């Protein structure tokens, strides 16, 4: 068993592209928004828009989605095939797994409910939906926002983690994970987060799926 895993109680994980197979919010926007949405995302990636500003621009362009359409979309979201096994291992070892996401709480909660994972605590942006003329409209708030967040996230992952411990394991894949990645005792990174860690000399372990993380925890070689 990995020594850091044995000695640390809290494990924090990103959701979009980490637990889910792809970025759920990105797919949602590109599936249902009408008109051009990439400019806002580009400005967000460049740090010129906050997460909330970017999402509000994009959500205003989702005009003809029904509640049934949203439910169907969320029911089709796939998660990493080894995540449930990882979740069970964490519970067996009396650790606490908490999701820190810059995505939408109702999306994550629905996906977790579909996989009998509703007991996982989630910190994220809060998305409310209401119906107007038969179609969904959205109101986004950021209860976990931090004005001093260095990357302008709607959910400041560092602030959320500090409520629990300064010692933790983190699992992530993207832009919203950069700040907290530097503070983890043990970091698992892939995709753009791995590139960031290489460029910034941040210590990490690469992974492709949660099977790699399970192997590392159990003391096996990581792929």
* C-alpha span between 74 and 16 (Å, rounded): 13
Domain that residue 119 falls in: 3-217
Number of domains in the chain: 1
Sheet holding 168-172, edge to edge: 135-141, 121-132, 96-104, 10-13, 168-172, 186-189, 205-206
Residue 223 lies in a domain: no
Q: Are 153 and 176 in contact (CB under 8 A)?
A: yes
Residue 222 lies in a domain: no
223 band by pLDDT with thresholds 50, 70 and 90: very low
Residue 52 lies in a domain: yes
Q: What is the CATH classification number for the domain harbouring 50?
A: 3.40.50.1000
Q: What is the pLDDT of residue 155?
A: 95
Listed residue (175, 191, 198) closest to 47, CA to CA: 175
Listed residue (214, 215, 211, 175) closest to 196, CA to CA: 175
Q: What is the pLDDT of residues 117-176, one digit of tens each?
A: 999 999 999 999 999 999 999 999 999 999 888 788 999 999 999 999 999 999 999 999
Q: Any alpha helices (H) in the chain, and if so which ranges?
A: 3-7, 24-32, 38-45, 51-59, 67-75, 83-92, 105-114, 157-162, 178-181, 191-200, 210-217
Mean pLDDT of the chain: 95
Q: What is the pLDDT of residue 220?
A: 62
Listed residue (102, 95, 77, 67) closest to 9, CA to CA: 95
Q: 126: how many CB neighbours lie within 10 A of its CB? A: 15
- Averaged pLDDT for residues 201-221: 92
User: Could you tell me the two tokens for 156?
Assistant: 């400041």
CA angle 177, 178, 181 (to 5 degrees): 80
Strand partners, 168: 10
For the entire predicted model, the pTM comes to 0.95
């Amino acid at each position: 068993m990995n020594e850091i895993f044995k000695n640390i109680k809290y494990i924090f994980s990103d959701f979009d592209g980490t637990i889910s197979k792809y970025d759920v919010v990105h797919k949602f926007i590109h599936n249902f928004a009408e008109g051009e949405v990439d400019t806002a995302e580009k400005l967000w990636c460049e740090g010129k828009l906050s997460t909330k500003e970017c999402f509000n621009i994009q959500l205003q362009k989702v005009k003809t989605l029904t509640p049934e359409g949203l439910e169907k979309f969320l029911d089709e979201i796939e998660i990493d095939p080894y995540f449930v096994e990882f979740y069970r291992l964490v519970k067996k070892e009396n650790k606490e797994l908490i999701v820190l996401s810059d995505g939408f709480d109702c999306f994550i909660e629905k996906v977790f409910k579909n996989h009998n994972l509703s007991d996982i605590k989630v910190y994220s942006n809060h998305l409310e939906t209401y119906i107007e003329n038969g179609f969904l409209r959205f109101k986004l708030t950021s209860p976990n926002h931090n004005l001093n967040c260095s990357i302008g996230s709607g959910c400041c992952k560092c602030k959320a983690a500090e409520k629990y411990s300064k010692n933790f394991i983190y699992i992530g894949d993207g832009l919203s994970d950069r700040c907290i990645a530097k503070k983890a005792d043990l970091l698992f990174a892939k995709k753009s987060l791995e590139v960031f860690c290489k460029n910034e000399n941040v210590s990490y372990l690469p992974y492709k799926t949660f099977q790699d993380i399970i192997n590392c925890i159990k003391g096996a070689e990581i792929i």
